[in-house]
Amino acid sequence: MTSACFNVVAERASADDLIASRFTGPDEACSNRNAALARIVFGATSGRPRIEGGVPVLRLKMGDEAREDFAEVWWSVGTVTSGSAGDLVFSHDDEFLFCAGFIPLSERYTEAARKVYADAFALIAEQGFPKIFRMWNFIPRINGENGEGLEVYRDFCRGRALAFEQDYAADAGMPAATGIGTWGEGVGFYFLACRESTVRHIENSRQTPAYKYPRRYGPRPPSFARATLMRDTLFVSGTASILGHATMHAGDLARQWDVTIGNIAHLIGAENLAAHGATGGYTLHDLDQIKVYYRHAADRLAVESLARAVFHPHACIRYLKVDICRADLLVEIEGVASRRDAGLRPTPTA
Ligand code: 3EB
Contact 240 CB / ligand 1 (< 6 Å): yes
Alpha carbons 171 and 123: distance in angstroms, whole number: 17
Q: What is the pLDDT of residues 24-61, one digit of tens each?
A: 333 334 444 568 999 999 999 999 999 999 999 999 99
Evaluate if residue 3 carries a pLDDT over 50.
Answer: no
Q: Whose CA is closest to 331, among 322, 342, 340?
A: 322
Work out the mean pLDDT of the chain and round it to a whole number. Answer: 88
Is residue 186 a part of any domain in this protein? Answer: yes
Contact 159 CB / ligand 1 (< 6 Å): no
State the DSSP H helix or E strand holding residue 190, giving kind and residue range, or none if neither: strand 186-194
Which residue CA neighbors atom 12 of ligand 1 most closely?
Answer: 179
Is residue 346 a part of any domain in this protein? Answer: no
Band (pLDDT 50/70/90 cuts) for residue 198 is: confident
For the whole model, what pTM was predicted?
A: 0.90
Q: Whose CA is closest to 237, among 280, 192, 211, 267?
A: 267
Is residue 313 a part of any domain in this protein? Answer: yes
Task: Report the residue among 207, 216, 325, 331 best suited for mutation to probe ligand 1: largest number of ligand atoms under 8 A from its CB.
Answer: 325
Give the CATH number, domain containing residue 122: 3.30.1330.40
Is 107 among the residues known to form the active site?
A: no
Alpha carbon of 151 to ligand 1 centroid (Å): 14
Q: Which of 11, 72, 151, 332 is catalytic?
A: 332
Chain centre distance of CA 35: 21
pLDDT of residue 339: 79
Is residue 342 a part of any domain in this protein? Answer: no
Is residue 266 a part of any domain in this protein? Answer: yes
Q: What is the pLDDT of residues 242-297, one digit of tens each?
A: 999 999 999 999 999 999 999 999 999 999 999 999 999 999 999 999 999 999 99
Is residue 47 a part of any domain in this protein? Answer: yes
Q: In angstroms, how far is the first alpha carbon of the chain from the final one?
A: 33
**Residues 197-218, mean pLDDT to the nearest whole number:** 96
Residue 245: domain span: 5-337
Q: Number of structural domains, the chain?
A: 1
Q: Whose CA is closest to 345, among 28, 74, 20?
A: 20
Is residue 153 a part of any domain in this protein? Answer: yes
Instruction: Point out which residues pair with 136 in neighbouring strands.
Output: 178, 190
Is residue 60 a part of any domain in this protein? Answer: yes
Chain centre distance of CA 34: 23
Band (pLDDT 50/70/90 cuts) for residue 90 is: very high
